[in-house]
Amino acid sequence: MSQPSDVEFVNVTKRFGDIVAVDHVSLSVERGAFFSFLGPSGCGKTTSLRMIAGFDQPTEGDVRLSGESVVGTPPYKRPVNMVFQHYALFPHLNVGDNIGYGLRQRTPQPPRAEIEKQVSETLELVRLSGYENRRIWELSGGQQQRVALARALINHPTVLLLDEPLAALDRKLRREMQIELQTLQREVGITFILVTHDQEEALSMSDTICIMHDGRIVQTGSPTQLYDEPINRYVADFVGKSNFFEGKVVEADGQGARIETPAGRTFAGRNPRDAASLQAGAAAVLAVRPEIIFVGSPGAGAPYDADVEAPAVIRNRIFLGEQTEYLVEAEGLGEVLVRAPKHAETQTGGFNPGDQVVIGWQAAAALALEDA
């Protein structure tokens, strides 16, 4: 038995005049899940969150919380809190008063001691104990972010909506806050719905990611599913890095396809799970992740039975720690990105710009995708 769904969209469309911000979206978020909307600017992520929170109403379709329609229910009557894209703290209030604000607005207002107790408990949750009397401008970006989180959490929502909560932070702080958010979600056990256009953030934090494009859902799945089984080029391009070789389908069955490039080469690739089968004659791409391509010295032999092999020249080398990323110019393939694990380079010490090499891969690891 799966968990009951906490948030549901049934064929939801949201129009602003002529603009279709959200276009016939149906989805279901399980209780206690960490769910993310991922997509480029303007694809409808914030609008989707605002409909869950109640700041916007759908033009068509139904929004449900715990199975009940909430269309028309005002935000303050929903068991949902939202941390905004530009976290709006009250600059004239100190940390404690910012966090306790929601409780003080209640009628009847809880006793002062109760508010103080809850503020202090929530501060502990976001690891800011003792910061009650600090002014907002005396806090770092990450600390301000945690105040914004605490201000939402103190209302004990069943669903917490986070709109690009870490966008303003630098890389290192972001990484720390990502881990803290995950830990916090496990501690409080409520449903988190995150909006981000940062694929790394979505991949590292979410149980389920919903990839959006122009107001529509392209694919929903676990991080691994989206990475290993992207249903088209858009998803493969958005999630992780990939090489794409464009061409036309010359042969296809339910398992995979052969794609012919304009240069006359044909490549085989497998059909991802859940992807529609490709039709002969259709435009398609072969997607090859940089880490499934080997790079070796000419004549040294491939590390496995490669289905595709090509001589190449190293153009650029980027050291990434556990991996080295090479941009190579390969015969008949053009520019190809390759990632070699450190352990594969202990013998050779790796390659440098100008070196002649051989690259290759196995067809079973390449994907034949719709060019969308």
Ligand X SMILES: Nc1ncnc2c1ncn2[C@@H]1O[C@H](COP(=O)(O)OP(=O)(O)OP(=O)(O)O)[C@@H](O)[C@H]1O
Q: Interhelix angle for 95-104 vs 112-125, to 10°?
A: 120
Q: How far apart are CA 209 and CA 194, in angstroms?
A: 9
Phi/psi of residue 101, each to 5°?
A: -50, -50
43 contacts ligand X (rule: CB under 6 A): yes
- Partner touching 271 among ligand X, Mg ion, none, CB below 5 to 8 Å by kind: none
224 contacts ligand X (rule: CB under 6 A): no
- Partner touching 16 among Mg ion, ligand X, none, CB below 5 to 8 Å by kind: ligand X
Kindly identify the residues of this chain, within the stretch 31-60, that bind Mg ion according to CB under 5 A. Answer: 46
Kindly identify the residues of this chain, within the stretch 133-162, that bind Mg ion according to CB under 5 A. Answer: none
Q: How far apart are CA 332 and CA 339, in angstroms?
A: 20
Q: Are strands 34-38 and 191-196 parallel, antiparallel or unpaired?
A: parallel
Q: How far is the CB of 146 from Mg ion (least distance, A)?
A: 21
76 contacts ligand X (rule: CB under 6 A): no
196 contacts Mg ion (rule: CB under 5 A): no
- Partner touching 47 among ligand X, Mg ion, none, CB below 5 to 8 Å by kind: ligand X
Q: How far is the CB of 45 from Mg ion (least distance, A)?
A: 5
Binder among 11, 16, 26, 341 for ligand X (CB under 6 A): 16
346 contacts ligand X (rule: CB under 6 A): no
Q: How far apart are CA 372 and CA 368, in angstroms?
A: 12
199 contacts ligand X (rule: CB under 6 A): no
Of 193 and 338, the one with the shorter C-beta distance to Mg ion is 193
Q: How far apart are CA 235 and CA 254, in angstroms?
A: 20
185 contacts Mg ion (rule: CB under 5 A): no
Tokens of 37: 């909307």
Q: How far is the CB of 315 from Mg ion (least distance, A)?
A: 37
What is the total count of residues that contact ligand X (CB under 6 A)? 13
Q: How far apart are CA 204 and CA 285, in angstroms?
A: 27
Measure the CA angle with vertex 327, ends 325 and 330; round to 5°: 130
Angstrom CA distances, 312 to 34, 147, 245, 249, 333, stand at 43, 53, 16, 26, 9
21 contacts ligand X (rule: CB under 6 A): yes
Tell me which residues touch ligand X (CB under 6 A).
16, 19, 21, 39, 41-47, 85, 197
Tell me which residues touch Mg ion (CB under 5 A).
46
